[in-house]
Every structure is written in C-alpha cells, then in structure tokens.
C-alpha cells in the first residue's frame, strides 16, 4: 500500500509540467511538454482574387491528459483552426491526440495544415488568376497579362500605359467620348455630333426630317446659302436663307407675281432696258465649292435677237474689249450655245481664251418648267451639269471660285454685252455652299421648287 501511494503522489505533482509515457521498469518516464514548434507556425499563401493574399496559420497541437491510476490516458484535445486573412480560408485545426496506453498520457495532436485561398470569396476588379501572384516585382501571367507589383491589379493591356483593362475600345485605343454623348468615339458613328450615334439619312452634324417623305431632299436644306423664291411683290427678290436680297431690273420687262419672275427677253443690240434679276456682289467669295440650282421656263428667242447665249445665270465681271463689254471672269449657264444648240455651263478666270465648259447631251426644253443645276466641286476638281435631275456631263476642273471677280450676280443677263437676255420665267433660284452629289441633285429635283419642308 505504501508503494502505491507514493507513485500516485508523484504523478499528480508533475501534471502541470510534463507528459508521461508508459511505465518503464516500474517507473513512469517523463515526456517533454509540447513546445511552440509543435504548434503549426508555418504560413501558406493561396492565390487571391483581390489585392490581399489569403494567409492561414497552422492550428496549434492539442495538449495531452495525464494518466490517472493504471487506466489508459485520454487523448489530447484537438488543436484550434488557423486564422485566415481576407479571402483565405483558415488552416484546419490540429488533430486530436491519440489515447495513451494504460497508465500513460495521450500524445498531443499534430499541427494544423496551412490555409487554402477561397477564390470565390471576392469578385472585385483585377481578380487574380491561378499561377499569377503579386509580389515585389511586375510579373507576366500565363495568359500574357501582367501582374503589377504590390497592387494586386492584373494589367490586361501590358503594352498600353494608359489602360489596365481593354474597356470599350480595347487596348491601345482610348475610350474617348469627344461629343460627350456617353458613347465612345470608337463605337460612335458620329463622334463629333452629340445628337447622333449613326449618320441617318442626312449624315452626321445634320438633322434628319421628321417627315418620312422628305428623305434626302430635306438634308440639303442645311447646305443652302441663298434662296430666291420670288414670293414677294414689287422689285425686291428676297433671300429667304440669308440677307443677300436682289433687285428686279427692267421695269415692265421684269415682273414678279405668284412665286415667279417673268422676263420678256432681248429688245435689241446690247443691253437697253431688258428685264433681269441683279443679286448682290461677292456672293461667291466665302465659298470653296458651289451648286447653282434653278427651275425655269424658257420660251426661246425674244422679240429681238436669237436663242443662242441667253443666260439663265452669270456670275463674274465685265471688261472692255475695244468698244465692247465682255466677260473677264465668269461662271455661267446658257440655255443654248452656238454650235451644239444645247445648254452649256462655262467657267473662266480669263475670258473666252481660258474656259472650262460642259455641253449638255440634249436640247433645252421649250415652254415647260425645267430643272437645272451646275456644280463646281473644288476638292473633287470637277464641273458638272444636270437637267431635270439627270447628269448631262462632267469635266475635270482645275480652277477655283476665288479666281472669279463676281461683281455681277445676274439672273437672265450675260456679262457679254452683245448676248441676248433671257426670254422666260424664273420660278426658283438657289445657291448651295457645297457641291451636291448626283443623288442629292436628283432628290432636290424630285421634291420640286417649293417643298413644304423648305
């Protein structure tokens, strides 16, 4: 009995210091207590989805129970779970200690395993990808992207210093919105028009008509510089677009009524008192290209003179040649040229010796309202003539409108003093500040001289 009591006292006295193994040779051998190395102090890093890498520490090992009496000792308690950082999942706790042999203490649990990052816990910008870690230097990811040092941001545009993500326009192209319409220029069909992202019927920077029947004809209204519809009374030819109002000359030989001006034609040699419309000087000065458009009814020869060289319009100046006034510079349209007998459009910067001209393919109709248009296209270097919306001819043109001294802007009168005046009716005359194309000329002709949307 005395021996047993001593052994029990000895075991109880050391329970707070050592853990015992089974009895060896009748004496219980001490085992070293668990040290910090038994705890899991290793740290593992998982791949992270955001800027912070997930980290998990190992769980600490479980402590062991001492043996009590001769019975088997109880195993140590399980270690605690390792801590986690942001997106990472903590390490698993230490396993429970194994039961000791009879009379001995249980062995402490093993260290907890390292944490594994939980990639699904974050879906913010710059998400990480497998095998692409953030560290002290920039690093290329497996798919060619670059993980920027210490930021956790994966640069998806490594060759574009202004972007880390493709955005709307892709790498290498800025997501600029020039017209501030919330549509990037790279996908904006009208990047300088805040009211449009597609050209529509009239194109960018031009309003489309709310009238579905207006079509392309509505669009050219925005290109008008001057328009004369002869809707007034008296001798003023009003410009409904600008302020370049004209004067109706010739007294009773030029009368305005019901949206037209009636001109009686030539009365004799040179100019005497025939009717015509005089527009202000220098209308062509601000223009680089121009389109002249008119609706007229031609009656042929007047009471004096003949049909040839009667002008529908003539912009230019006069110079003396001997005793005669002739054209110095000009751009004109005649209903009939000598020789061909067809309409002709002519440009000259130096009289008849330096002309660029187009002859129509057909004679001008008599006594019927007819549409005509002349287009001087400086960038396109062409001069074109249209009759009733159809192209009659086009020639290369190397001149410029600046070469014309348009002291005279005459409808129905020529800068050549000997030419007869126009015998007919002016229904509508327009000047566009742009070279209309064939489709636009055709659309205008089809809309007529007085469309409701004009």
pLDDT at residue 233, as a whole number: 80
* Gap between the Cα atoms of 156 and 159, Å rounded: 9
- The two tokens of residue 226 are 């001057």
Per-residue confidence (pLDDT) for residue 268, from 0 to 100: 75
More confident residue, 211 or 358: 358
Question: For 174-185, what is the mean pLDDT?
Answer: 96
Taking the CA atoms of residue 303, residue 307, residue 308 and residue 313 in that order, the dihedral angle to the nearest 10 degrees is: 90
- Mean pLDDT, the chain, rounded, equals 77
DSSP secondary structure code for residue 221 in this structure: G
Q: Tell the residue number behind the tokens 């319009």, with chain if given.
A: 313
What are the φ/ψ torsions at residue 31 (nearest 5 degrees)?
Answer: -120, 145
Q: Which of 25 and 15 is assigned the larger pLDDT?
A: 25
User: Region 312-336: what's the mean pLDDT?
Assistant: 96
More confident residue, 10 or 325: 325
Write the pLDDT tens digit of every residue in 268-295. Answer: 778 888 999 999 999 999 999 999 999 9
Name all domains of the chain by residue range, CATH numbers in brackets: 1-119 (no CATH), 215-447 (2.60.120.200)
- Which pLDDT tens digit goes with each residue over 378-400? 999 999 999 999 999 999 999 99
Question: Euclidean distance between the first and final Cα of the chain, in Å?
Answer: 128
| pLDDT for 159 | 94
CA dihedral sign, ordered 210, 229, 294, 226:
negative
C-alpha span between 157 and 151 (Å, rounded)? 15
pLDDT greater than 80 at residue 49? no
Per-residue model confidence (pLDDT) at position 350: 94
pLDDT tens column, 411-437: 999 999 999 999 999 999 999 999 999
Higher pLDDT, 418 or 41: 418
Q: Return the H-helix or E-strand segment holding 10.
A: helix 2-13
Q: What per-residue confidence (pLDDT) applies to 397?
A: 97
Token pair 């990639």 is found at 119
Residue found by looking up tokens 């791949």 in the block:
47
In tens, the pLDDT along 183-238 reads: 999 999 999 999 999 999 888 988 888 887 788 999 999 999 999 999 988 999 99
Q: Full-prediction pTM beyond 0.85? A: no
Confidence tier at 150 by pLDDT (50, 70, 90): low
Q: 339 or 398, which is more confident?
A: 398
Closest CA to 46 of 56, 35, 33: 56
Lowest mean pLDDT among 6-15, 178-187, 339-348: 6-15
Q: Give the CA count within 13 Å in the CB-facing half-sphere of 71.
A: 6
Kindly indicate the confidence band of residue 147, based on its pLDDT and cuts at 50, 70 and 90. Answer: low
**pLDDT reported for residue 55:** 39
Q: What is the pLDDT of residue 135?
A: 52
Phi-psi region of 270 (alpha: psi -120 to 50; beta: other; left: phi over 0): left
Estimate the share of the chain in helix, then strand, then coil, as percent rounded to the nearest 5: 10, 30, 60
* % pLDDT > 70, the chain: 67
Q: To 5 degrees, how large is the angle CA 313–CA 259–CA 221? A: 70
| Distances from the Cα of 366 to the Cα of 165, 241, 291, 301, 311, angstroms | 70, 30, 24, 10, 15
Rounded to an integer, what distance in angstroms lies between the CA atom of residue 8 and that of residue 6? 5
Give Cα 115 to chain centroid, integer Å: 50
Contacting residues for 101 by C-beta, under 8 A, at least 6 apart: 22, 72, 73
List Cα–Cα distances, 74 to 4, 77, 98, 377, in angstroms.
Answer: 21, 9, 8, 104
């Amino acid at each position: 009995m005395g021996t047993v009591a001593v052994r029990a006292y000895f075991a109880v006295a050391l329970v707070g210091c050592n853990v015992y193994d089974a009895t060896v040779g009748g004496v219980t051998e001490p085992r070293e207590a668990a040290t910090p190395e038994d705890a899991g102090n290793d740290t593992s890093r998982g791949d992270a989805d955001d800027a912070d890498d997930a980290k998990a520490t190992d769980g600490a090992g479980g402590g062991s129970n001492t043996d009590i009496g001769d019975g088997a000792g109880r195993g140590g308690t399980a270690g605690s779970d390792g801590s986690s950082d942001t997106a990472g999942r903590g390490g698993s706790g230490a396993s429970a200690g194994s039961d000791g042999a009879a009379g001995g203490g249980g062995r402490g649990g093993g260290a907890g395993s390292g944490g594994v990052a939980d990639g699904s816990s974050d879906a913010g910008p710059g998400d990480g990808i497998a095998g692409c870690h953030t560290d002290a230097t920039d690093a290329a990811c497996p798919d060619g992207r670059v993980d920027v040092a210490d930021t956790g941001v994966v640069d998806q545009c490594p060759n574009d210093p202004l972007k880390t993500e493709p955005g709307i326009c892709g790498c290498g192209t800025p997501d600029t919105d020039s017209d501030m319409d919330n549509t990037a220029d790279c996908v904006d069909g009208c990047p300088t028009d805040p009211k449009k992202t597609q050209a529509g019927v009239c194109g960018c920077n031009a309003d489309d008509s709310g009238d579905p029947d207006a079509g392309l004809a509505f669009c050219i209204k925005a290109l008008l510089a001057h328009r004369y519809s002869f809707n007034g009374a008296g001798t003023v030819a009003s410009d409904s677009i600008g302020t370049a109002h004209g004067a109706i000359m010739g007294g009773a030989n030029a009368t305005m009524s019901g949206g037209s001006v009636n001109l009686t034609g030539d009365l004799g040699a040179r100019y005497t008192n025939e009717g015509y419309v005089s527009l202000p000087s220098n209308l062509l000065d601000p223009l680089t290209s121009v389109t002249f458009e008119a609706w007229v009814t031609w009656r042929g020869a007047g009471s004096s003179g003949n049909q040839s060289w009667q002008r529908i319009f003539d912009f230019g100046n006069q110079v003396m040649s001997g005793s005669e006034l002739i054209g110095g510079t000009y751009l004109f349209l005649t209903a009939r040229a000598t020789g061909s007998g067809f309409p002709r459009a002519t440009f000259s910067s130096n009289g008849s010796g330096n002309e660029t001209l187009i002859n129509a393919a057909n004679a001008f109709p008599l006594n019927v309202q007819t549409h005509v248009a002349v287009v001087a296209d400086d960038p396109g270097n062409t001069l074109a003539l249209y009759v009733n919306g159809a192209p009659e001819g086009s020639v290369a043109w190397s001149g410029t409108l600046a070469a014309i001294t348009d002291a005279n802007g005459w409808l129905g009168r020529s800068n050549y003093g000997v030419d007869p005046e126009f015998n007919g009716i002016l229904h509508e005359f327009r000047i566009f500040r742009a070279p209309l194309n064939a489709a636009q000329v055709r659309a205008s002709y089809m809309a007529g001289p007085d469309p409701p949307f004009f």
